[in-house]
Chains A and B, each alone.
Chain A
Amino acid sequence: MSATSGRQSRREAILLITPGVALLIGGFLFPAFQILAMAFVPATEDAGIWSNFARFFVDGYYLGVTERTLRLSVIITAITVVLGFPIAYIIARSGPRLRLVLLIMTILPLMTSVVIRTFGWVIVLSRGGPLTDILHAAGLVERNFALLYTETGIVLAMVQVLLPFMAITTLGAISAIDTRIEEAARTMGCSFWRSLWHVVLPLSIPGIVSGSLLVFALSISSFVTPSLVGGVRLPVLAWSIYQQATSTLDWHFAAAQSVFLLLLVMAIIIPYLALMRRKNG
C-alpha cells in the first residue's frame, strides 16, 4: 500500500465501491425514504399530515395488535435467553468435533426457510398432530386439543425460529472468555455451579444483551410465523402492515404503521449498536 500514492488509492477505492453505493441508494435508501414520505401524505385532502398516525392511535384495534406484538416479543426473548445460554455454554466447552456437530445442528434450522420451519410447527401444533398424541397419551389433554391459532403456539414456533440467533451471539461472548479465569475460580474452591453463576454468566452478559436485542427486534417485525400459526385471529403488527399494503391497498396507512414499527425497532437497535461499539473499543 505504501508504494501506491494516497490519491491513486482513493481513486481506486471510489471506483470499487461505486456500484455498491448505487445499489444501496437506489435499491435500499430510496425505497425506505419513499415509505417515510408516504406515511405523511394524508389519505383525504382535508386531513393533516399526522392523520395516518392518528388513525393508528385512535383505533383500539391497532393498539391491541401492538400490545400483543410487544407482549409476545418479550416472552419469546425471555425464553430464548433461558435456553440460549446453556446451549451456547455447552457448544463453547465441547471438543472440536462435537462442537462442529452442535454448530451444524444450530445453523441448519437457521438456514432453512422460515416458511418450512413454520410448516413443521403447523403439523406439530395442529389437532391430531404429534404433540396432541403425546399429551393425550400422558392423559393431559383431550383428543381434539390443538395449539394452532393460539398465542402459546406462536411463542413455541417463534422461540425455535429465533433461538439460533441468541445461541450464536451468546456463544461469541462465551468463546471470548479465557478458560483460565474459570479454572482460577475453581482452584480457589468455587464449585462448578458457582463459577458458572459468578464468573461465566457475568462475563457473557454483553453477548446475552446483544442477543436479546436482536431477537426482540426480529420478533416484533416477524411476519411468516405469526401469520401461519396465529392466522387472522391473532394479528400482529407485521401482519397488519401486510394486510393494509396488499388487501386494502391503503399504502399511506401501511407506511405509517411501518414507520411506527421502525421506530420501535430503532428504539432497540440504537442501544444495541452503542453496546457493540463500546465492546469493539
Chain B
Amino acid sequence: MIHFLYFDPGLGAMIIQAIVAAVAGVILFSKNLMFKIKTFLGIAKQEDDVFDDIDVKDSDLESKSKSDITK
C-alpha cells in the first residue's frame, strides 16, 4: 500500500460506503429479480446500446498475436 495520500479520499466518503453498498445491493437484487420475472414472462427487451458490459470478456484478454494468426 502506498500510505501517504496524494488526494483527500474523504473520511465521510469512507464511512458512508457501507450504506451506499447496502442500497446498491438491494437495487441490484431487485433488478435481477425483475429481469428474471420479465424473461420468464417473455417481456424482457433487448437493449440497443453502444456501451459494453461491465465484465471484461475472456476473449478480450488473450494476446493480440493470436487473433493476427487467425485473421
A and B are partners in one complex rather than unrelated chains: no
Name A's B-contacting residues (CB within 8 A).
none
